[in-house]
Each structure stands twice: as C-alpha cells, then as structure tokens.
Amino acid sequence: MDQDPKERLLLPPRAAANGPNRRGKPTTPVCGGGGGGGGGVAIDVHGLKKRGGGRRSWVRVDAATGASEAVEVAKPALMRRLDLPARDLRLLDPLFVYPSAILGRERAVVCNLERIRCIITADEALVLRDPDADGGAAADVAVRMYVDELQRRLVDRADDLPFEFIALEVALEAACSFLDAQAVELEAEAYPLLDELTAKISTLDLERARRLKSKLVALTRRVQKVRDEIEQLMDDDGDMAEMYLTEKKMRMEASLLDEQGLQGIGNNVFGSSYSAPVSLSAPVSPASSPPASRRLEKQFSFARSRHDSFKSSESSQYNIEELEMLLEAYFVVIDYTLNKLTSLKEYIDDTEDFINIQLV
C-alpha cells in the first residue's frame, strides 16, 4: 500500500531499527571475550591511536619564496614547533568531524575551512594533505588548487598584505567559492522540481524533494558556520590583533635586538664583570661606586624600564582595519550564499503548504 504523499514530504519514514523482518550479519563485539551484552562494531583502537599520533603528510609553502614541498610531520613535533595545544590540531584531523573554524594563536593561525585544513605562520603555510580524507581525490585537488593560488599571489604581490593574511584570504576564497557552487547546484536542481510538483504531485517527486530538503539543511548549516566564524572574528579586536603574526614576529625580533644593545651598553660602561646590585634600596658606598658610574647606572635602568613600558603598550595596539576589511569582503560573499539558501528554503516551505492544501 502506498504511503500518503503528504507524509513522504513532511515526515520521512524511519527505518525500523529492531523490526521482526530485519536482516543482516551479526555485529562483532568491540572487545574480545565471551559474555553477554549488546553487540557493536569492531574498532581498531590501536590503529586509530597510531594514525592519530603518527606522521601526517603536509604541503609546506614558504612565505619568502613561495616554494612548496611535501613534508611529513608528527603531531607532537607540530605542537612543540608552533606552541599549539592538541585540541587545536584536533580540529584539522580527518579522523574527526569538526565544523569550520579559524583560530588565532600566538605564533600561528589554525584554519579548518571545508576542504582546506591548514596552519599559517609568519614564515610558512602547512596544508594538510590526507588521501583518506572525506572527498578523496576532490579533496586532494582542492589542496593543490590552494597551493597553486597561494604561490601565484605571492609572486604577484599586488598588495602589501602580510603572508598570513594572503594565506588566510586564499583559504576563505576557496571555502566561500566551494559553498556557493554547491548552493548554485542545489538551486538548479530544486526550482524545476518544485515547479513540477506544483503542477503535478507525484510520489517520486515528493521523495526527491524530501532528499533535496535534507541536503539544503546540511549545506545551510555549513554556510552558517563559516559566516559565524568570520563575524566572530570581526567582532573581537583582540582576536584580530592576535592574527598579526608578521608584525608580532618583527616586534619580537626588534625587542631582542634592543635588549642585546642595552646589555652591550651596560657591559661597555661597567665592564664585562659588572652585575646589577641585588637591592636598589641598599646603601651604596661612595668609595665603591663613583658618582659618574651611579649616574650611568640610573640612565641605563631608566632606558630599560622605558623600553619595557613601550614594548608592553605596543604589543596590544595593532591597526586591525586591514584585516577587518579583508574579513568583511568574505563575510558579504558568504552572507549572499546564505541568503540564497534561505530563499530556497522559503520556496520549499511555500510549495509544501501548497501541496498540503491540495492533499486535504
């Protein structure tokens, strides 16, 4: 007996989990040994542990030359090299399914944007290349396209953006373009089908419409997550300032040079064996510390304190307008895609209402 068409569109049938006619192979227990209890799917825990903590294949793009090379790096080595916690690298692991995310850290930007999973620093971009990832060959092609586009922009250098922003922009562009292409493909399938349903209701078209609506909900969720990530970054000046990796690196190098210079001044004035007094409040004997040396010591101490104060105040002041404008451009793009999907959902809802009226 055919199912009510109205139910097929609005309430998709559920497969009977424990029905009397259910057939299939018996499940294998997760753990060996006898005993009762429910069955389960066998999981190779040791294989997962080895793969999760083992060496992975990355494509490294050098910031200075744009040259790329395939490298294999273990997760613990990346954590030590980039000072990243394990949870950040877990976002990129193909073994786990995580939504899109953009994280700004002290020395790196971690990006999980659809098929592009990468770690960006001031000196390089590491793009995860996993042949076993979802999408298979398509995911591998996406990685190659990302690397090619990043290299092209590094050669052209049409603007003065630092490397980390160029690499981030290429990742955002790839994700937004991929999601918009899927939205366009869904529109091309949906609108003719819905128009056909309004003209003539058929069980086959209702089933197609149900599957299409499920795809729409899943795609909308992914688009919404990318949009939310960009919006969250734009709303937090601290998060955007954290992503100025090149500037932070330059300031750190300048700070080290200044510190070495100040130490050199101290050594030249007081001699290599000079050491600062333990307590500034302790009495100083005129015989052991000449007046000229005390004045130089005070100047040296004042210069050090002024330098430290300047470094502390400058570390939290970045001109974030550059990054904000970049993010805003892709926010507009992904928001346009979301609006298309929202309009399509409204059209589906209107079609459902029309069909419900016809079936009453």
| pLDDT score for 19 | 43
Residue 213 neighbours by CB under 8 Å, 6+ apart: 345, 348
**107: pLDDT strictly greater than 60:** yes
Exposed, middle or buried, 230 (CB in 10 Å: 0-12/13-18/19+)?
Answer: buried
Which range has the worst mean pLDDT, 40-49, 137-146, 223-232? 40-49
pLDDT above 80 (res 131): no
Structure confidence at residue 254 (pLDDT) = 79
pLDDT of residue 33 exceeding 50: no
Instruction: Determine the pLDDT at residue 42.
Output: 58
Provide the pLDDT for residue 277: 43
Instruction: Compute the Cα dihedral for 206, 208, 211, 216 and give only its sign.
Output: negative
Query: 154 near 66, Cβ under 8 Å?
Result: yes
- Kindly tell me if the per-residue pLDDT of 9 is higher than 70: no
pLDDT reported for residue 43: 54
Check residue 70 and report its DSSP letter. Answer: E
Give 89-96's long-range contacts (Cβ < 8 A, gap of 24+).
91/117, 92/117, 92/118, 92/119, 92/128, 93/52, 94/128, 94/130, 94/132, 94/133, 94/134, 95/48, 95/51, 95/52
Q: Which of 75-84, 269-278, 351-360 has the lowest average pLDDT?
A: 269-278
d(C-alpha 249, C-alpha 239), whole Å = 17
Of the two residues 132 and 65, the one the predictor is more confident about is 65
The secondary structure of residue 111, as a DSSP letter, is E
Q: What is the pLDDT of residue 281?
A: 38
Which pLDDT tens digit goes with each residue over 155-182? 988 778 999 999 999 999 999 999 999 9
- Confidence class of residue 137 from pLDDT cuts 50, 70 and 90? confident
Compute the residue count for the chain: 360
For residue 95, what pLDDT is reported?
82
Residue 41 near residue 30 (C-beta atoms within 8 A): yes
Q: Is it the case that residue 26 has pLDDT exceeding 50?
A: no
Mean pLDDT of 192-205: 91
In the chain, what percentage of residues exceed pLDDT 90? 55
Q: Please, which pLDDT band fits residue 41 given cuts at 50, 70 and 90?
A: low
Judge contact between 150 and 161, C-beta under 8 A: no
User: By three-state DSSP, how is residue 62 classified?
Assistant: strand
Q: What's residue 191's pLDDT?
A: 95
The encoded tokens of residue 67 equal 């040259």
Amino acid (1-letter code) at residue 45 = V
pLDDT range class, residue 275, cuts 50, 70, 90: very low
Range 24-52 average pLDDT: 49
Confidence of residue 263 (pLDDT cuts 50, 70, 90): low
